[in-house]
Structure 1
């Protein structure tokens, strides 16, 4: 059994990531005409929002696996501009293209050094550590608040850059946690998958939850363990 060395704060673990008619994948990795029009509509209306699991037709789109995209796709620059504008406006650390209604395998991650959003095309998991990291994660496509997770603390990925270069990189800590949530999005898995709202602490209720636990420092291992146990007991007690 592995143990988590620490728990990140809710602000660090925030991983943020419009209706669209699904269409068949183009053999060349291109965006469909409906998707290109979708991006144009968003640009004209300055939309900065994500799909939500609380809207049934949007949840269906969020749960569909995303398809690969070619780096030379002519609509890629518009997609990345929309994604960067959205994730900045929503104060997120990461975003998957499907969260703005375009189901292609593109994800953004804010790098801890410099705060810039790096684009990852067609990312794939290569390896993950056995060491786990406990975190209170939140996703704006699941507006229910925070859920406790334990994910690999180190993640090795392979991906393409927007200019077509092949890269391999190992992410650690908060970056690894955030990017794993984006990879889940690309596979159609949500922070809410297999859970319901009772497993989440409302985003404006975290202070009250920690007061119930009797500690406020989630970087403290004892506080982390107590918060996790209280979260599990609270969720189970809420079962119908």
Structure 2
């Protein structure tokens, strides 16, 4: 469909909680296609509607080109393990910088598909990390908020330097 412009950090729209999707139809299907195209062009493995300036609870994830894309509408974490895992994270809204983040190792997520059907799945590994990262974004919590102040300040400074060098 269309590759959309990505909202870049520190745009305040990234801190606004997204609204629940209530209409399942052609407009939602078009949004999902635009998200998938934008994520592939970024490139990235996960994207939310807020990343393209649409304040709705829509997530598209494709962990690798060999895997099908996954669509999660109105996702909510219903269970999270007490054991933690560390993974390297970044964002299509903050390209060029990554950092290690610690999150629950396993999560159960309730969500709707693009037709409105309700599902619940448990995940570990990269899918668990990605779901938590994107659901945080839907809740208006940018991934850098999971870092210590020192790591966050250093990361933001590196990102600012990259942006200055690119302009």
Q: TM above 0.5, one fold? A: yes
2:131 matches 1:173: no
Specify the alignment match of 2:164 in structure 1.
none
Unmatched tracts of structure 2, length 5 or more: 160-167
CA distance in 2 between counterparts of 1:79 and 1:183 reads: 17
1:113-149 Cα offsets, whole Å, 9 max, x none, are 9422111111111001112111121112123611221
CA distance in 2 between counterparts of 1:174 and 1:141 reads: 19
CA distance in 2 between counterparts of 1:79 and 1:114 reads: 22
2:24 matches 1:72: yes
2:154 matches 1:198: yes
What CA RMSD, in Å, does the superposition of the two structures yield over aligned residues?
Answer: 2.3
Contact 1:69–1:105, Cα closer than 8 Å, also in 2 = yes
Unmatched tracts of structure 1, length 5 or more: 1-42, 204-240
Specify the alignment match of 2:81 in structure 1.
129
Specify the alignment match of 2:100 in structure 1.
148
Q: CA deviation at 1:190?
A: 0.4
The TM-score normalised by the length of structure 1 is 0.59
The TM-score normalised by the length of structure 2 is 0.83
CA distance in 2 between counterparts of 1:113 and 1:172 reads: 19
Q: CA deviation at 1:192?
A: 2.4
Specify the alignment match of 1:97 in structure 2.
49
